Amino acid sequence: RASSELKSERTVVRALDLVIGGTRVAVIAGPCSVESEEQIVGLARQLKELGATGLRGGAFKPRTSPYSFQGHKEDGLKMLATARQETGLAIVTEVMAPEHVPLVAKYADVLQIGARNMQNYQLLQAVGDSGKPTMLKRGMSATIEEFLLAAEYILDRGNPHVMLCERGIRTYEEHTRFTLPLATVPYLQEKSHLPVVVDPSHGTGKARLVTPMCKAAIAAGADALIVEVHDDPEHAVSDGSQTITPTSFGQMMAMCRRVAEAV
Ligand code: PEP
Ligand code: MN
């Protein structure tokens, strides 16, 4: 179960040097989409140097429009595996369909379930059966109750390595792409033993809001951050407007260290 009433010790999810739910705030960073081997390996080296322990990047992309880039699929997974080989960063990447779980699990260290699939119960069960560390993103219109029950679909299959990711919800507000409710962090930590990750990139949709919300997420007690970073966000194939550069990422990390020390 996900409830903290039924399990008193907190869950810690581990994949290589990525430890989520431990004493330190973990940072997963990388582009929205894996674009090329040079891109992902180059970024991975910089991100590792700047303190990330996880590398994100989509190979299977759930795009709003069917005409948008859908990801490099298995070729993208291979590029991620090369980046891991070069840097030791743990690979976090999305799996979109139950039948793809074995393939993605072969290359990834952490399986990501995207917001659009939070209630794809067959996918949750397949990921549960894989036993792989899993990051479950909150559906954009899901309540906390629904979010925790979705996590239980994975736990119920005997996979305890689950982390929850608040990535913003849909509201009437339009100044940001989604609305990022940070009260979710302490609330989920009270209700559940599962660690909580915050995604300020999707949560705001705006690059300039990412660093302030990273600081706020840490102040609120987040166990980890997941941040979109690209060498040239303007030309990123997806989510460029919410993506920061490696330089900004380095500045963000420095500020976040100070916040983490203060809380
Ligand atoms: C992503 O991480 O690039 C992504 C598609 O996220 P979400 O499922 O939260 O929209
Ligand atoms: Mn994205």
- Structural domain for 218, as ranges: 13-62+70-262
pLDDT at position 8 is 87
Three-state DSSP at 105 gives helix
Alpha-helical segments (H) within the chain: 37-49, 73-87, 101-107, 121-130, 144-155, 184-191, 200-204, 207-219, 246-262
How far is CA 125 from each of CA 59, 121, 144, 257, rounded to the nearest angstrom?
A: 21, 6, 19, 37
Is residue 4 included in any domain, yes or no? no
Confidence band of 168 (pLDDT split at 50, 70, 90): very high
CATH number for position 24? 3.20.20.70
Is residue 134 included in any domain, yes or no? yes
Among the bound ligands, name the one nearest to the CA of residue 201: 2
Pocket test for ligand 1, best of 33, 94, 95, 140 (most atoms within 8 A of CB): 94
What the block records as the tokens of 122 is 């067959």
Among the bound ligands, name the one nearest to the CA of residue 62: 1
Q: Residue 248 and residue 251: Cα distance in Å, rounded?
A: 5
CA of 113, closest atom in ligand 1: 8
Is residue 8 included in any domain, yes or no? no
Residues 6+ apart with CB under 8 A from 257: none
Distance 202 CA to ligand 1 centre (A): 7
CA of 58, closest atom in ligand 1: 3
| pTM for this predicted structure | 0.98
Three-state DSSP at 92 gives strand
Residue closest via CA to ligand 1's atom 4 equals: 114
Distance 96 CA to ligand 2 centre (A): 14
Model confidence pLDDT, tens digit, residues 65-108: 999 999 999 999 999 999 999 999 999 999 999 999 999 999 99
What is the crossing angle of helices 144-155 and 184-191, to 10°?
A: 50
Amino acid at 223: D
Residue closest via CA to ligand 1's atom 1 equals: 32
User: Regarding beta strands 162-166 and 196-198, do their DSSP bridges make them parallel or antiparallel, or are they unpaired?
Assistant: parallel
Q: Residue 89 and residue 42: Cα distance in Å, rounded?
A: 13
Among the bound ligands, name the one nearest to the CA of residue 114: 1
What the block records as the tokens of 140 is 């954009």
Distance 31 CA to ligand 2 centre (A): 8
Is residue 3 included in any domain, yes or no? no
Phi, psi dihedral angles at 93 (to 5 degrees) = -150, 150
Model confidence pLDDT, tens digit, residues 218-236: 999 999 999 999 999 999 9
Say if CB 176 and CB 204 are below 8 A apart: yes
CA of 114, closest atom in ligand 1: 8
Q: Looking at residues 52-64, what average pLDDT do you find?
A: 97
> 11-27 in b/e burial notation, b at 16+ Cβ within 10 A?
bebbbeebbbbeeebbb
Distance 202 CA to ligand 2 centre (A): 6
Q: Looking at residues 165-185, what average pLDDT do you find?
A: 98
Residues 6+ apart with CB under 8 A from 112: 56, 92, 93, 94, 95, 134, 135, 137
CA of 239, closest atom in ligand 1: 3
Among the bound ligands, name the one nearest to the CA of residue 226: 1
Confidence band of 217 (pLDDT split at 50, 70, 90): very high
* Neighbour-count burial of 202, counting CB atoms closer than 10 A to its CB (0-12 exposed, 13-18 middle, 19+ buried): buried
Is residue 224 included in any domain, yes or no? yes
The DSSP bridge partners found for residue 164 are 136, 196
The total number of structural domains in the chain stands at 1
